[in-house]
Amino acid sequence: MPSDPKPFPADISGQSMEWLWNACDQNQAKFNRASVAMQELIAMEATWTDQEPEGDVWRYRPYPLGKFGQLLTMARRLWEEYHTIMASFLEVGCGPGTKCVFAQEFLWVESTGFDTSEKYINAAEELATARSVDCEFFIEDAEQYDLYNEHSIIFNNRVFRDLDRQAKLDQKIYEAMEPGTFLINGNQVTQPPGWRLIAQDVAAMLWQKTCRCEGMEELLISEDEAYLTCTVCARNFSVGPPG
């Protein structure tokens, strides 16, 4: 554990890094590398903040890296409870790629990011190369992208100023994602209907898409209750007292 765990070290935005210590499996060497990288990336994000929107598209507005990391780590750990393959992470409107790079380097996901800005994608590729991280970045329009179903965790931090346009994009993502996958909705305009709310931050919510629960195979028994757990979306269904 870090030499002075009370209080835990804070990043340069004042966010406690206890979550990062746990995300690094309480490995001191990895935590040291990750915490230094996070400080550098937070500072880098600040230099990329564009104050004015470009048309109807908000230009890059960095969501706090520490708060994002906590939600992503929570989603990734839940994903790993029922899957043996690494989680595939997508950032819609990735900007200069700081979150994708950090997530793949330290948070055990395969990262993909797209943006409509060539400037941002070039910066993201340069960052990934500089840190020797094999992320995938490309130029794409969020409304035209048709592979949302291929990702297990998506970060959708509001990209459009127009509320109706953003709501339509939200619905496209909700409908495309597979049951059991996770969505981090930042500065959200809408909420996914019927999904399970896992966690909530000041400006973001972590959701899991539920299913028809036809994959219930695991019977779990506690001291007071027996219940089935869906192996797709992890919802629990009580079947009464044990025995």
Per-residue pLDDT of the chain (243 residues; tens, 9 = 90+): 455 445 577 777 677 888 999 899 889 999 999 999 999 998 888 787 665 556 777 677 778 888 899 999 999 999 998 888 999 999 999 999 999 999 999 999 999 999 999 999 999 999 999 999 999 999 999 999 999 999 999 999 988 888 999 999 999 999 999 988 999 998 888 999 888 899 998 789 999 998 766 555 566 666 677 777 776 666 676 666 766
Residue 228, phi then psi, degrees to nearest 5 = -95, 140
- Rounded Cα–Cα distance for residues 15 and 65 (Å): 9
pLDDT of residue 88: 97
* Torsions phi, psi for 159 (to 5 deg): -105, -20
CA distance 69 to 17: 10
d(CA 238, CA 112): 38
Partner residues linked to 237 by β-bridges? 228
Rounded to whole angstroms, how far apart are CA atoms 6 and 85?
A: 36
Reduce the DSSP state of residue 27 to 3 states and report it.
Answer: coil
Q: What is the pLDDT of residue 7?
A: 59
Whether residue 45 contacts residue 157, with contact meaning beta carbons closer than 8 Å, is answered with no
Q: Where are the beta strands (DSSP E) in the chain?
A: 87-92, 109-115, 136-139, 153-157, 182-186, 196-200, 204-208, 216-221, 226-230, 236-238
Cβ-contact 128, 135 below 8 angstroms = yes
* Domains of the chain from N-terminus onward: 18-208 (3.40.50.150), 214-243 (no CATH)
